Amino acid sequence: MLAPVNTNKVNLLGFDKKGLEAFFVELGEKPFRATQILKWLYQEDVTDFEQMTNLSKSLRQYLQEHCCITPPEISVAQQASDGTRKWALQMSCGNRVETVFIPEENRGTLCVSSQVGCALACTFCSTAQQGFNRNLSTAEIIGQLYVAQRELGKSRRITNVVMMGMGEPLLNFDNVVAAMRLMMDDFAYGLSKRRVTISTSGVVPAMYRLTQECDVSLAVSLHAVNDELRNILVPINQKYPLKELLAACRDNVEHSPRKCITFEYVMLAGINDSVAEAKALLRLLKDIPSKMNLIPFNPFPNSLYQCSSPEAIDRFRAVLHNAGMVTTVRKTRGEDIDAACGQLVGKVNDKSRRAEKLKLASSSNVPRI
């Protein structure tokens, strides 16, 4: 049973610190009420305004009447044999998004979604097949940490966040940035900026804006070494080709204190995994301090590609490694519950009717690659 959503009340999960300060000032309260509320919400896990004892009685009463703390509802919870956990969260209008927790020895990473579905038609990603429905609100994004941390209990902490779930985070800029600010705020989750990573397919203007406005780690989904192939794999490349993408990466490196970008490269058999392409990758990135994260392709129903063989991945990795590039191969986690990269589908009322269009395209044998 879903709890009724009280649409008349203001959901306090929707504000970062600045937003909360403005909210309280508007009420005639002091701005420091914002940090008090943040602590109750994110550090003390208190949801009953009456228990927020450092607030005045009249403010507690006001909050009780006009505000709420409403995280997304869990509709399905799953745990993989390797300990990876996945929650399908019910959003409004029957949509679902997925959030994945990946436990490792020294850290616990939460993979967070930014949109219901995705508008970018990357041909190797199952979220793309679902089409796009809408942006998630700040409350729905930070709500994923809120719900997951609650489910994990005190024994396991979320130490890292990657915006690598469903959606393109830079196409939902304001809500994603507000949520990432809460992740890094000492009065909320207090994660260091090295532990909060945004991954983008290359929305170039938003990359420049991000560099100016929010200091987090940047990962860029590269996947190809020339425009011809990238136009197919990551179609937003038709709008922002490699030259422009790499200029935005250089700008980020120049202006960010970490001075390094992680590139993601999905390994597709016979498509982008040759030694020649590894060498071309080195040439392409020679003037950008880079780390490379090779992602073995995770298949999904009706996917067009196959994963490169372990030998091909290793050959590719060795070329980069021997040239001095820090290169990791992403370990596939949570495969038995479809929680791996690119397998998140949720349940989307597809506004772009992408699934229908794809069905038509495949039935008329239109070559897609």
Q: Is 246 left (phi over 0), alpha (psi -120 to 50) or beta?
A: alpha
Q: Does position 297 bind ligand SAH by CB under 6 A?
A: yes
The nearer residue to ligand SAH, 62 or 208, going by C-beta atoms, is 208
Q: Are 23 and 15 in contact (CB under 8 A)?
A: yes
The nearer residue to ligand SAH, 20 or 345, going by C-beta atoms, is 345
The β-bridge partners of 264 are 221, 293
Closest CA to 91 of 74, 78, 67, 79: 74
Candidate list 21, 98, 140, 264, residue with the active-site label? 98
What's the rounded Cα separation, in Å, for the pair 340 and 82? 12
Q: Is 26 a catalytic residue?
A: no
Instruction: Write down the H helix ranges in the chain.
Output: 17-26, 33-38, 57-66, 126-129, 138-152, 173-184, 204-213, 227-233, 242-255, 275-284, 310-322, 354-363
What's the rounded Cα separation, in Å, for the pair 184 and 190? 5
Q: Does position 341 bind ligand SAH by CB under 6 A?
A: yes
Q: Does position 132 bind ligand SAH by CB under 6 A?
A: no
List 164, 188, 319, 325, residue binding ligand SAH (CB under 6 A): 164
Could you say which residues in the range 221-240 bind ligand SAH, by CB under 6 A?
221
Query: For residue 15, how many other CB atoms are within 10 A of its CB?
Result: 23
* Minimum separation from the CB atom of position 125 to ligand SAH (A): 3
Q: Does position 273 bind ligand SAH by CB under 6 A?
A: no
The nearer residue to ligand SAH, 73 or 244, going by C-beta atoms, is 244
Q: Scanning the structure block, which residue is given the tokens 């009065």?
A: 187
Closest CA to 269 of 218, 315, 333: 315
Piece of 23-31, 144-152, 199-207, 311-319 that binds ligand SAH (CB under 6 A): 199-207
Which residue's beta carbon is nearest to the bound ligand SAH? Answer: 342
Q: What is the DSSP letter of 65?
A: H
Piece of 43-51, 144-152, 198-206, 317-325 that binds ligand SAH (CB under 6 A): 198-206
Tokens, residue 125: 């990603």
* Minimum separation from the CB atom of position 159 to ligand SAH (A): 19
Q: Are 344 and 337 in contact (CB under 8 A)?
A: no
Could you say which residues in the range 62-121 bind ligand SAH, by CB under 6 A?
none
The nearer residue to ligand SAH, 70 or 237, going by C-beta atoms, is 237
List 264, 273, 277, 338, residue binding ligand SAH (CB under 6 A): 264
Pairing relationship of beta strands 96-103 and 85-90 according to DSSP bridges: antiparallel
* Minimum separation from the CB atom of position 105 to ligand SAH (A): 23
List 71, 131, 143, 342, residue binding ligand SAH (CB under 6 A): 342
CA 197 to chain centre: 8
Q: Is 98 a catalytic residue?
A: yes
Q: Does position 204 bind ligand SAH by CB under 6 A?
A: no
Q: Which residues bind ligand SAH (CB under 6 A)?
A: 122, 124-125, 164, 168, 199-201, 221, 264, 266, 295, 297-298, 341-342
So which residues are the catalytic ones?
Answer: 98, 341
